[in-house]
Amino acid sequence: RAKSAGGNRFELADPEADARAITRHGLTTALPTALDRGEFFIEYQPLVHLGDGSVRGAEALVRWLHPQHGVLSPDRFIPLAEHTGLIVPLGRWVLEQSVRQARAWRERHGGAEALGPLRINVNLSPCQLTHPGLVQDTVDILERTGVEPNALCLEVTESALIGADDDLLKPLRRLAEMGVDIALDDFGTGYSNLANLRRLPVSILKLDRSFTQSMQQFPADPVDLKIVEGIVSLAHSLDLAVTVEGVETGAQAEQLRILGCDTAQGWYYARPGPPERLHDLALVDATG
């Protein structure tokens, strides 16, 4: 790219690319100590039951409050954390914080017994899956906090499990046997192998935002409707619940409800935010 089309003359390299590379380098250097310095925090985004609109839980989404760059989204630093290995302690920290938060919600959430405890969804990176401590760490955290396994859902992307052999699936199977839900995140973006679903210890499909986006136009593309309808009916026939992400409008929510999706998440309901907000949202449901 630095070599221009005009023969031997060299042009300056793309200054934006340079800035990005410098930032990436800087972030990678700052990353290992960021956890000790307490620069990470977690926002929670409600998971809403499409049938009755009640808040059933939340997904934990990590952010980095960088001293120079301000709040960084996970897309900026999770890949770096995976590359440097920090993802293992960072992921463990997110899991512990989130499960503690679920416990705190439950303690304050007396009014909503009928709906069961608020559930907590936590993202797992592929590196955590191959780390030998995953099952024991999870068991320890649940025991320490007194949260029952079925209040926890671990989200794994479909692409992380593509071609997964039994060794990779073993820890997930053990967690599933304990009662932890496993969700297949961003479903439908990879080369979804539907037959493969039976082999995976998952109980929830999280339909990728791209499907939700295609429900934006009215009437929605009939082929997209058929695809979502097909995925939902296949999922249900395999006893999997369907969650949709990226719901931004009431029309999308209604369309996805009609198509049989179970749970939704998106800006239409709430953006990711501090934990107190979730409690307030859930309490509104419970009392009104």
How many angstroms separate the Cα of 52 from the Cα of each of 55, 264, 280?
Answer: 9, 11, 17
Closest approach of ligand C2E to the CB of residue 36, in Å? 17
209-248 mask for Mg ion (x: CB under 5 A)?
A: ------------------------------------x---
Cis, bond preceding 222 (omega within 30 deg of 0):
no
Nearer to ligand C2E, 185 or 262 (CB): 185
Place of tokens 């709906």: 115
Residue 91 touching ligand C2E (CB under 6 A): yes
Question: Least separation, in Å, of the C-beta of 287 and ligand C2E?
Answer: 26
The correct pick among 43, 158, 186, 262 for binding Mg ion (CB under 5 A) is 186
For 288, the token pair is: 């009104």
Q: Which CB, 158 or 285, lies closer to Mg ion?
A: 158
Q: What is the footprint of ligand C2E within residues 161-220 (CB under 6 A)?
A: 185-186
Instruction: Report how far residue 82's alpha carbon sits from residue 133's, in angstroms, rounded to the nearest whole number.
Output: 16
Phi-psi region of 190 (alpha: psi -120 to 50; beta: other; left: phi over 0): beta
What's the first-to-final CA gap in the chain, in angstroms? 60
- CB 246 to ligand C2E: min, Å: 4
List C-alpha distances in Å: 281 to 135, 272, 286.
Answer: 32, 12, 9
**193, 194, 267, 284: which one binds ligand C2E (CB under 6 A):** 267
Are 137 and 105 in contact by the 8 Å Cβ rule? The answer is no
- Which positions lie near Mg ion, rule CB under 5 A? 123, 155, 185-186, 245
Residues near ligand C2E, by CB under 6 A: 45, 61-62, 73-75, 78, 91, 94, 123-125, 155, 185-186, 245-248, 265-267, 272
